Chain A
Amino acid sequence: MSWLPYIVPAWIFVIGLYGMATSRHLVHLILCLSVTQSATYVLILMIGYRTGATAPVFSDVLSTVRATDPVVQAVTLTDIVVGATVTALLLAFALRIYKTYGTVDPQDLRTMQG
């Protein structure tokens, strides 16, 4: 049953989606999207984790201590920075929408119906 910890990223992913789906404010929605994305980081890093291992930074080249998977960490690292800029881009969109319509409730923004 040692897969139980994986419930955590699955839960964060789904609760983030639920928050997006029921959101009534675009800024809230964007932060929920960011929470959903963070679920993927947790999942990826958990997958690369190995019990008792250290971070894959070796102070001396001939180290014999087991290390965690550097690939997953490299992957996550860049993703976090990218996630932040995408969040910023979305906030800019939300702000622009607000300036026109005076609202950021998705329910009130239905000009695209059809």
Chain B
Amino acid sequence: MSPRARGVLAAISGLALLLVVLAGFAKLPDFGVYLGPYGTLVDELAPIQRKIPNAITAVNFDYRGLDTMGEEFILFAAVAGLTLVLRKDRRDTTDAPLPSAGLRGRADRSDAIRAFGLAGIAVTIAFGVYVAIHPHLTPGGGFQGGTITSGFAALIFLALGYRPLKRYAPHQRTEPIEAIGAAGYVLVGVATLAAAGAFLANCLPLGASGEFFSTGTIPVINLCVAVEVVAGFVVVFGEFADETRFEVDDEAEVEP
């Protein structure tokens, strides 16, 4: 199709799809009215059954823990695929250095930027870890905290440069850690299957609601998720940073 023909067809069929979808949406319950028994029941039961104040975490890591396990492996597969495509390719074709500076022209990275960067990195890690380890008490968890924490790798690269990234977040070494995080989740499932007769069923003492060591298996699973998400995103950042690597810069890069 010519671009014009495609544009016309896309506009017409997009409009048609919009109408079809809206025909269904028109029969949705009014906005702000939630009828379903599922969520209501979880809201009622989670604090009692799991001694957990955060019902979302209870769904994520217990009631629908299998979904989360699947999502963990989606992350795992996507990161593995990305690494495969980028790294193999760099090895095969682009060993020669590229001519000019990349995302971070080192000349214009002043001391002030470095200082802000370091502060930002510290705050990011602190906040991320805090969010990651308290999912059973407050909003947060391995996914949210993990993505925030991994932002430190991006900040190192942006504020300090390529070499510090390689030194403080060596992503080739975090890959096995990512796999371990993913495997950990499944192993918890297998262990609980052996101990309690159902995959991912809780078999640890629940403790008192609101305490750090409470809610049984949830903190364990959360830790696996956090490890995997941090490691996974560090790999993503590292791989893309590698793409903008130019040897000219590597020579002149200053350690912080």
- Residues of A bordering B, CB below 8 Å: 2-7, 10-11, 13-15, 17-18, 21-22, 24, 46-53, 55-61, 63, 67-75, 77-82, 84-86, 88-89, 91-93, 95-96, 99, 107
Contact = CB atoms under 8 A, between A and B. Distances in A.
Contact of A77 (B30, B56, B138): B56
7 contacts: A10-B25, A57-B53, A61-B210, A69-B40, A69-B42, A85-B232, A92-B86
Contacts of B53: 57-61
Contact of A71 (B39, B75, B143): B39
Contacts of B240: 88, 91
A48 B81 CA distance: 34
Interface string B51-68: 101111111100010011
A60 to B, nearest CB: 8
Contacts of B36: 69
A29 to B, nearest CB: 12
B31 A2 contact: yes
B3 to A, nearest CB: 6
B111 interface: no
Contacts of A99: 89, 93-94
B147 A68 contact: no
Given A74-B57, A91-B240, 7 more contacts: A21-B10, A48-B34, A57-B138, A68-B39, A78-B143, A99-B89, A99-B93
Contacts of B94: 99
